[in-house]
Amino acid sequence: MSSEQPSKEASAPAPGESAKPEARQPHIYAITKYGAAVLETKTKPVEKFDEKLARLCEDMFASMYAASGVGLAAPQIGLSLRLAVIDVTVGKNSEARLVLANPQIIHTEGDQREEEGCLSLPGFRGNVLRPRYVTIRAQDVTGKTYEMKGEGLLARAFCHETDHLEGLLFIQHLSMLRRDLIRRKIRKLRKAGDW
């Protein structure tokens, strides 16, 4: 999920904060763009919680920050893995860093319609209806299960990143007319070699 505005939800506790692997430079992944099959395929669960996963999470945070995002799901870096990272402060508060392995939305409440974007669809945004409050159950980088309630931007990020893990993109929440317009523009960009 891409960021455009600061958030007040950053005071969330950090049960999903990534463990610190040995000192190394994180790898910055290229963001997989719309059109790649991995973005529209349901992901496989995370089964191994080890140093390799911790490094991957650190790389995902670094890749997300490099792209100015507030969330990044594994399919967005080409991996079909039920894993996402979120930081609605875009790196300003390390306690807001969340690792969501095998997340499930267990409760939603209320509505909010806000503009939303996606790192895999750069330059495209649309107003998307999402729940105002969302409770998720997920595992952190060590495999420990936790539940967390998010409001506003954090709730939106929970939904957006969980959608990615189900093979859904935010444009699937837009009207058919708006979705087709975006797809036509992307086809033109591809033809011109700009996608």
- What are the residue numbers of the active site? 161
Structure tokens at 142: 């060590």
Q: Three-class SS string for the chain?
A: CECCCCCCHHHCCCCCCCCCCCCCCCCCCCCCCCCCHHHHCCCECCCCCCHHHHHHHHHHHHHHHHCCECEEEHHHHCCCECEEEECCCCCCCHHHCEEEEEEEEEEEECCEEEEEECCCCCCCEEEEEECCEEEEEEECCCCCEEEEEEECHHHHHHHHHHHHHCCCCHHHHCCHHHHHHHHHHHHHHHHCCCC
C-alpha to C-alpha distance for 67 and 121, rounded to whole angstroms: 12
